[in-house]
Amino acid sequence: MMSSEAPKPQFRWSHLLIGRPLETRALPHQVVSNRIGLAVFASDALSSTAYSIEEILIILALAGTGVATLGLSIPITFAIVSLLIILTISYRQTIHAYPNGGGAYIVARDNLGELPAQIAGAALLTDYILTVAVSISSGVAQITSGFHALYPYRVEMAVGVIAFMTIVNLRGVRESGRIFAVPTYFFIFTMLFMLIVGLVKYTLGDLGTVKEVDELVRHDVQSLTLFLVLRAFSSGCTALTGVEAISNGITAFKEPKSKNAATTLTYMSATMIVLMIGLTLLTHQVSALPSEKETIFSQVGRTVFGDSSIFYLAVLSATALILLMAANTSYADFPRLAALHAGDGFLPRQLTYRGSRLVFSWGIMGLATSASLLVIVSRARVTSLIPLYAIGVFLSFTMSQSGMVVRLRKIGQLRPGEEVPGRETVMRYDPHWRLKMFISALGALCTGMVMVIFAVTKFASGAWFVVLLIPTLVFIFFRIHYHYRDVARLLSLEGVPVDVEKRSIQTLILVDDVHAETVRLVNFAKSLDHPWHAVHIAVNPNKVDLIREKWHKRIGEGELVIIPSPYRLLAEPLRQYIEELQARTPGSFVHVIMGHLAMDTFWEQALHQNSAVIFNLALSRMERVVVTSVPYQIHRNGLAREHSAEAHRDH
Amino acid sequence: MMSSEAPKPQFRWSHLLIGRPLETRALPHQVVSNRIGLAVFASDALSSTAYSIEEILIILALAGTGVATLGLSIPITFAIVSLLIILTISYRQTIHAYPNGGGAYIVARDNLGELPAQIAGAALLTDYILTVAVSISSGVAQITSGFHALYPYRVEMAVGVIAFMTIVNLRGVRESGRIFAVPTYFFIFTMLFMLIVGLVKYTLGDLGTVKEVDELVRHDVQSLTLFLVLRAFSSGCTALTGVEAISNGITAFKEPKSKNAATTLTYMSATMIVLMIGLTLLTHQVSALPSEKETIFSQVGRTVFGDSSIFYLAVLSATALILLMAANTSYADFPRLAALHAGDGFLPRQLTYRGSRLVFSWGIMGLATSASLLVIVSRARVTSLIPLYAIGVFLSFTMSQSGMVVRLRKIGQLRPGEEVPGRETVMRYDPHWRLKMFISALGALCTGMVMVIFAVTKFASGAWFVVLLIPTLVFIFFRIHYHYRDVARLLSLEGVPVDVEKRSIQTLILVDDVHAETVRLVNFAKSLDHPWHAVHIAVNPNKVDLIREKWHKRIGEGELVIIPSPYRLLAEPLRQYIEELQARTPGSFVHVIMGHLAMDTFWEQALHQNSAVIFNLALSRMERVVVTSVPYQIHRNGLAREHSAEAHRDH
């Protein structure tokens, strides 16, 4: 009939903050190069070294700060590195198998079923929130290590950073990539430089040890048990959080997506291994000790470069920046994963809506709110957050790799050359399926064990919360799913005869006072050409006579029914009245027409009660009660005259 | 036609907190006896002694803590007492002249005009908020004087008390009266007891002086100028805040209202005079010194009774309690005064609505919010709030008494026995009008002078804020007034011919998807019997073909127009479409019908986007565009079956 041309969105002040709206067709162009991809997706994994080494030492220090005790951090680190290598190989397989995005949720859904998928998803969503909270708290701790005066403001600083990051991400991923590329590379090069200088000084016998450390106050020295070592190991495993980020975000890479993503993953892991081993050895060499007020990196940095060196400042700022930016990985992944859940009907559907900049705005806001809450509750202390952290990631690792094992077993049962289309990807025979399956199984086994160690050794200090939270989330996800399923069934027209017969309509006009707006209401009701009468709810009994008189004088037609309301309620007396009407003529529509004064500004609007909201809420529970709002525009400036002119002309 | 029986309000959880709803006719019964009235209205005035004596000393101590300097507090107190006597006599006249409530706002409006009335009202409203903030901060300071460990939590405590007081007042005034009667009398008797014990000990030479005071840190000693003495005097005048409370609340008294109110006022002033003089002398005798951590009353109390005496604890708790309860005077007066302003159209009309318990709920909430804000900003420190305080009260004193002067002059011009009806009360000849006018003029002069002294001596330390705030408020009040006046004029039907002619209606159905709810929409549109067609806004271009197909298969009649929306906007493309429709047939109604899924619970509702809100907002600015919401009820439990049964039956 009519082909409306698409209107350009009007200017809003928010566009200055998050950029001008983008058209839907701009969507596929939002991809990143490998170099930017490394910056966007690796910052989480790389930055974890900043707190993982520290948290290992904090746990070991419970058994004393002797060289032999703290030296255990070296074998622990090698164990973690081995785990990382297994994970990397395993995840490269996943990336190749799922070129459209191979996060734990998708892999589990594809191979294990709905429940494991929801468990993996709930675990990951929890951990994305924790990544933001932990990374930003640790980043702020780096800053306050250099500037002790800022220590009391760490919570405010952390929340401020979350707010900034939220705005950047509401702009969209490509812009974020550019902003975040610099800090990631700055961190890598600063750390490598520190390792080299440290190595040179060590060779020359020039390195020395940390001076003036504000040691952690320890309550009582525990004995060095296997339990304690495992606890330290599990704390250190937080370094591996973020390794899965690339597998979730394959679609953000340029074509060929899988190859680019896998290459980036390999580069990332190699960098991580160098940093983890190098920094652990250096930390041990300079005898850095965990402290409340100064981070390990700060101690190492000033020992290697000297207190007032510009390179010491570079270490602090590079670590702070990459940590603050690491949170960005979660900003990329959380909304994407939440949208996947929502698309499958396990989270509110609003999470699938793309905002004006094509990002999942609801997911971004949800992540920002939850992470801010965690930062506030934990007073931005990393050590308080660590026990909650990483269980989710390791649970999802296990799920994802178990899914790959199932998938590879199926592939092994195909004949060479045979292809089977699946929900996500095509399964194709692979001669190396046995080796690949072994790697995935090994990965699943190791990460599963680490998860159990984590949950057991940290249960009392906070892990219990996550152990309870994940099943709760899964329960909620399924409740939501059943809701959507039931609503869809109730709304479905399959097999139900469609009833579009005419019914009778009884029209009511709600009258508060008699003035020009009332005339508009009567005008509309008469134009509808159905039987109608007016209703006044007598909240103020003193006004009734005046209104009745004005009605007869001004309108002079139609009946005006007065409904008493001794408790000054608006909706309940009307509801009762409509129920009586409906009882007399069942099956008919009751059509309630009410006015609404529309003002030019918010402030003017706030001076008038919007009863329409109250009525809509109260009447929406009633079968076949239809509510119509007839706006009457009030323009105080200039247009006022036009209005009265129009009123005259119309007549 | 139909006489609906008034429904009893349904049970809500909030009823447990604020009590069951009351009928409108219960209103006149909410009155209090003199004894309760004294407790309700005097707590503000009586409690002011707790901070006024202290604030006098804080200012004098700027010039040193010698006996001669601090001894100036005695003549200053006598000056304040003289002012109180003048005010009491003057206000008794006002109470008799305005038996229906003689607050400054009413007296000024009646005798001086609209602008002075708004000034008086704005001043009083400001001061009511400050009364709550100052009294509660001071009350909390009494508690922390006894329990130093609580000192860091004073802001939280103060805000908590405000919350408690808000709930009590949302229940209604009589209940509050009962709750507040005990503390007021407890305070009066405890203070009198302390004065008597102090006097006896003094006579026996047994009184001694305060030991171990944490003196205020003074920056540099100023010289004792007249300016400083006036500043101390104006600080002390905060004692007089609350004297006007009874004149505002006359209607809360039993009949004869004026007589009861005047008697209560006299009792209140007499009590105040005894306490002010007695406590000032006692404070001086024990050489109490202002301190950040301990109040003067606490120092006096432990010197008279001893550190560990139960009576010392009684002094602290009585002072704390009456201060905390003093805020209640404002809870009684602020909402009442705000409702008066709103009734005259100078504040949002919502302030005149009585809640379920017949109190002005909006006013109570507004007061609580503003006072909490002040407490938080001032960190609950009384000394930071004092410079803002009392200017408003003295401005309203001046306005009120000037109004009485004008009124009494008019009365003097009447013949004996003559009566003239005014807006508020009848003016009757009074042979003593000259004397009465002289008293009111004296009161106006004195309070006006105090106000000027206040504003000048405290301008730099905070009074500037109030000096700016009051005119700003008056400006806003008039802006609101002009808004209501203009709207009333635009809506007025006086002299305008009433247009209730039928017009043509074009009906649109908004279709998001085709399901049972859509059938209900079509059903209603067809029942209306006007030309209609359906419209789908193509936010998701991939869904369009499916929807078109479902429409033809399921509905099979009426046209379905697809409107493209490349920016994923809902309202703007629709608005443009309607504008095109209207351009073709000017003057007709455009009737937009949309569906609304109504769920049983809030949580279920939150899982579905309520587009109706977005459309209502966007379309309410358009002339003659009427929006109808057709609810479709989703009952998941049990009723689901009924629904489909009904669908079958209907056909």
Residue B13's pLDDT is 65
Q: Which residue in A has a C-alpha nearest to residue B22's C-alpha? A: A567
Which of A359, A535, A537, A626 has the highest number of chain B CBs within 10 A, making it the mutation to test binding with B?
A: A626
Please, which pLDDT band fits residue B499 given cuts at 50, 70 and 90? low
Helices (H), B24-113: 34-60, 67-70, 73-97, 104-111
A380-405 confidence digits (pLDDT tens):
888 889 889 888 999 999 999 999 99
* Structure confidence at residue A509 (pLDDT): 93
A345 touching B (Cβ < 8 Å): no
A566 and B7 within 8 Å at the Cβ level: the answer is no
Q: Do A4 and B356 touch (CB under 8 A)?
A: no
A230-263 pLDDT, tens per residue?
989 988 998 998 888 888 878 888 888 899 999 9
Which candidate, A182, A580, A165, places its Cα nearest to that of A359? Answer: A165
- How far apart CA B398 and CA B254 sit, in angstroms, is 28
Distance (Å) from the alpha carbon of A543 to chain B's nearest alpha carbon: 14
User: Could you tell me if the ipTM is greater than 0.85?
Assistant: no
Average pLDDT of the residues of chain B: 85
On the CB side of A156, CA atoms within 13 Å amount to 4
Shortest CA gap B303–chain A (Å) = 39
Neighbours of A549 (CB within 10 A): 11
Mean pLDDT of A429-457: 92
Q: To the nearest whole angstrom, how far is the Cα of A351 from the nearest Cα of chain B? A: 10
How confident is the model at residue A620, as a pLDDT? 83
Share above pLDDT 90 across residues of chain A, in percent, rounded to a whole number: 40
Please give the helix or strand (H or E) that residue A352 lies within, else none: none
CA–CA separation, A358 and A18 (whole Å): 11
Question: Hey, of A359, A481, A490, which one would you mutate to test binding to chain B, going by the most B CBs within 10 A of its CB?
Answer: A490
- The answer, yes or no, to whether residue B639 has pLDDT greater than 50, is no
CA distance A145 to chain B (A): 27
Interface touch B650/A587, C-beta < 8 Å: yes
Report the DSSP pairing between strands B532-538 and B560-564. parallel
pLDDT(A206) > 80: yes
Calculate the alpha carbon distances from B92 to B96, B103, B406, B434 in Å. Answer: 6, 12, 17, 16
Q: Where are the alpha helices (DSSP H) in B172-251?
A: 173-203, 226-236, 245-248
Confidence grade of residue A642 (pLDDT, cut at 50, 70, 90): very low
| Residue A91 buriedness (CB in 10 A; 0-12 / 13-18 / 19+) | buried
User: How far out from the chain centre does Cα B328 lie?
Assistant: 11
pTM of the model: 0.74
pLDDT of residue B89: 94
Q: Which of A4, A5, A354, A528 should one mutate to test binding to chain B, selecting the residue with the greatest count of B CBs within 10 A? A: A4
**B647 in reach of chain A (CB within 8 A):** yes
pLDDT for A95 beyond 80: yes
Task: Strands of A242-398 (E only): list them.
Answer: none
pLDDT, residue A4, reads: 44
Instruction: Inform me whether the pLDDT recorded for A288 exceeds 60.
Output: yes
**Rounded to whole angstroms, how far apart are CA atoms B645 and B647?**
5
The predicted pLDDT at position B396 comes to 92
User: What pLDDT score does B66 carry?
Assistant: 79
The structure tokens listed for A487 are 């609503």
Residue B298: closest CA among B512, B148, B412, B491:
B148
Please tell me the least confidently modeled range out of A20-24, A65-69, B195-199.
A20-24
> Residue B248: its pLDDT value, please?
80
Of A9, A349, A626, the CB nearest to B569: A9
Q: State whether residue B552 sits within 8 Å of chain A by CB.
A: no
Q: What is the pLDDT of residues A316-345, one digit of tens each?
A: 999 988 888 788 878 878 998 899 899 999
B576 vs A7: CB contact, 8 Å cut-off?
yes
pLDDT average, residue stretch A161-189? 80
What pLDDT, on a 0 to 100 scale, did the predictor assign at position B17?
64
Given this model, what pLDDT does residue B27 score?
A: 59
Q: Which residues contact B463 (CB under 8 A, 6 or more apart)?
A: B387, B388, B391, B454, B455
Whether B643 sits inside 8 A of A490 (CB atoms) is: yes
> What band does A636 get if pLDDT is binned at 50, 70 and 90?
low
What pLDDT is recorded for position B619? 85
Q: What's the confidence (pLDDT) of residue B148? A: 82
- Predicted pLDDT at A179: 67
Q: Provide mean pLDDT across the span A270-299.
A: 90
- Determine the Cα–Cα distance for residues B607 and B605; give it in Å rounded to an integer: 5
Has residue A3 got a pLDDT over 80?
Answer: no
What is the percent of chain B with per-residue pLDDT over 70, rounded to a whole number?
90
Asked if B217 is an interface residue toward chain A (Cβ–Cβ < 8 A), one would say no
Torsion-angle region of residue A194: left (phi > 0), alpha (psi -120 to 50) or beta?
alpha
Q: Do B589 and A527 touch (CB under 8 A)?
A: yes
DSSP structure class, residue A542: G
Give the minimum alpha-carbon distance from B122 to chain A in angstroms, rounded to a whole number: 18
| pLDDT (0 to 100) of residue A276 | 94
Q: Residue B276 above 90 pLDDT?
A: yes
Give per-residue pLDDT as tens, A505-517: 999 999 988 888 8
Distance from CA of B545 to the nearest CA of A (A): 16
Identity of the amino acid at A634: I
d(CA A63, CA A226): 11
Are A561 and B2 a contacting pair at CB < 8 A? yes
- Find the mean pLDDT for residues B461-490: 92
Q: What's the whole-number mean pLDDT along residues A56-61?
A: 90
Comparing CB atoms, the residue among A514, A616, A651 nearest residue B497 is A651
